Structure 1
């Protein structure tokens, strides 16, 4: 493509259109795509305000820093965090490297990004998960709701929480499950009984089909309810008479209410996946097993669960 043709704003929009079209064909998540789109839309608005920038070649390191400072001042916080700055710069670099690789003049922006990235501060990420007593309280509450009331959404929230808690699924993976994705495993216990289900996941973070395991006894009640309600090819987590799964935000709000009723602090839906991981690691101490359970692509991601928590140290010393 020609680098410059119609003035900086029109040229920017032309390159942005080509870049976003290219991004759709790359294996990036929907969330990442939206982040790229949001940051680059802000950049377009900033370029429009800059009357002294006439062409694409005038965009340089100083311009990028000015852009960051401008939106930093407009944000609700005094300064961007290191993580936010790194994200913005990464998006800008990806876009302008694309221009560098695809313009007919071989004009490059890569040198403009040297030294821009904030220095990383090595901090141990604080991992949050449920106490054993909190887990027990939630499970007792879910069981009681089904026994005493047995409403459709009682089964939905009980099943969803258990899938995250006992198999480490992400909420996006839970909500996209169909009955045909839950298959009894060939694995058997010492008595020859098949005691696990395989969860065949089609909408995963890695965009690859994956399989997770869950003990059959943990979900039999809920699974039987939905087997009597839906066809094999229907989404499980939907309202009666609906076609598509319930909204993730609605699921979050309802689970938050369950936690609040039981005096448990809300720490997001990922808390159940973290709890599954910590319980498994305590039981086995095997990071490779944990890596495969959580379906991490890199064991470095799994290593966070190897850091002992204060309560684990105290328990070990009792």
Structure 2
């Protein structure tokens, strides 16, 4: 029976397709070794994709996630103590085996989804010889766009006259700043309660934000002082904003959901004259800004709470692309 590609987070869909793919391999009497290799590869790929669950859907996956997966597996091999060969922990044949497994998996999806969506063109361009040099552009905001966005938030706050409009303007400003300056994922931000945000004891120290992150674990995100002070105070003045209630709410006092958050933020982008779209681009912007300022990748990994350094390395690869583009003008 054919399965539909659902336009939502990618991990649930990958897990659903994986079960069908595995049953298909068994029905076709594939060898135990082949089934084991494919199963292990796809399970590792799903774990890698958890980091991007909020920004990628099944119809939006690109080659960067395949090459990034190889870096992820390199990192795992290093942690297991595998010895390097010519500067790599994984051999070319091992990488080819991983790519072959993923290609067969996505070809199966191409042949069996109701929407007739095909990955064949994408898979054609995924080659081991390109894995170390292919670098796709990460969507993020440049400094001019950041300035325009922050200015627009201040304009909206200053124009708010009633207490209700002031709450909404400051709510929107706080939401955007938590993604932009603390690197929160949108799901983490929308699940915040006032008690999860801990202001600094002394001026100049960092704010601590308790987030329920990936893997079902609470993590600490950090934010420099004097970035959200006014917005947070105004939200706390809202009589319905209790410690155990939702921090981000609608006009009807319900928890703000992702769909409405996307619509609100997209409208603010438009007001600021920014053509880019998406909520995760704000988090990417923090990663790119830290990389451009030569911050240690281990620190960036800690700030963005990546489970693997290979995920953080994506920002360094994107920065290398900018360097190459700049040198090309000389």
- What's the CA shift for 1:198? 0.2
- What's the CA shift for 1:59? 3.8
Flag the 1:124–1:241 CA change in 2: closer, same or farther, 3 A: same
Alignment match of 1:183 (pick from 198, 207, 225): 198
Q: Does 1:234 align with 2:213?
A: no
Q: Distance in 2 between matches of 1:211 and 1:78?
A: 38
Decide whether the 8 Å contact of 1:200 with 1:212 is kept in 2. yes
| CA RMSD after TM alignment | 3.5
In structure 2, the partner of 1:60 is 29
In structure 2, the partner of 1:23 is none
Partner secondary structure for residue 244 of structure 2: coil
Q: Does 1:36 align with 2:46?
A: no
Q: Distance in 2 between matches of 1:124 and 1:78?
A: 19
Over residues 197-248 of structure 1, what are the superposed CA-to-partner deviations in whole Å (9 max), with x where a residue is unaligned?
100112x1232110011123110111011111111111111124424x2110
Flag the 1:312–1:134 CA change in 2: closer, same or farther, 3 A: farther
Decide whether the 8 Å contact of 1:43 with 1:67 is kept in 2. no
Flag the 1:194–1:78 CA change in 2: closer, same or farther, 3 A: closer
In structure 1, the partner of 2:156 is 145
In structure 2, the partner of 1:154 is 169
- TM-score, normalisation: structure 1: 0.63
Decide whether the 8 Å contact of 1:125 with 1:304 is kept in 2. no
Over residues 84-113 of structure 1, what are the superposed CA-to-partner deviations in whole Å (9 max), with x where a residue is unaligned?
xxxxxxxxxxxxxxxxxxxxxxxxxxxxxx
The 5 A counterparts of 1:31-110 are 32-37=11-16, 40=19, 58-61=27-30, 68=109, 70-71=111-112, 74-77=115-118, 79=120, 81-82=122-123
Alignment match of 1:224 (pick from 222, 233, 236): 233
- What's the CA shift for 1:73? 8.2
In structure 1, the partner of 2:303 is 293
Decide whether the 8 Å contact of 1:184 with 1:198 is kept in 2. yes
Q: Distance in 2 between matches of 1:38 and 1:144?
A: 47
Flag the 1:135–1:309 CA change in 2: closer, same or farther, 3 A: farther
The 5 A counterparts of 1:224-263 are 224-229=233-238, 230-243=241-254, 245-263=255-273
Decide whether the 8 Å contact of 1:157 with 1:255 is kept in 2. yes
Q: Distance in 2 between matches of 1:57 and 1:309?
A: 43
| Structure 1 unaligned regions, length at least 5 | 1-8, 10-29, 48-55, 84-117
| Structure 2 unaligned regions, length at least 5 | 2-8, 32-103
In structure 1, the partner of 2:218 is 209
- What's the CA shift for 1:34? 4.7
Alignment match of 2:210 (pick from 180, 200, 214): 200
- What's the CA shift for 1:267? 3.6
Partner secondary structure for residue 120 of structure 2: coil
- TM-score, normalisation: structure 2: 0.61
Flag the 1:311–1:300 CA change in 2: closer, same or farther, 3 A: closer
Q: Distance in 2 between matches of 1:78 and 1:71?
A: 11
Partner secondary structure for residue 140 of structure 1: helix
Decide whether the 8 Å contact of 2:174 with 2:231 is kept in 1. yes
Q: Distance in 1 between matches of 2:19 and 2:218?
A: 31
In structure 1, the partner of 2:136 is 125
Q: Distance in 1 between matches of 2:144 and 2:110?
A: 47
Flag the 1:58–1:130 CA change in 2: closer, same or farther, 3 A: closer
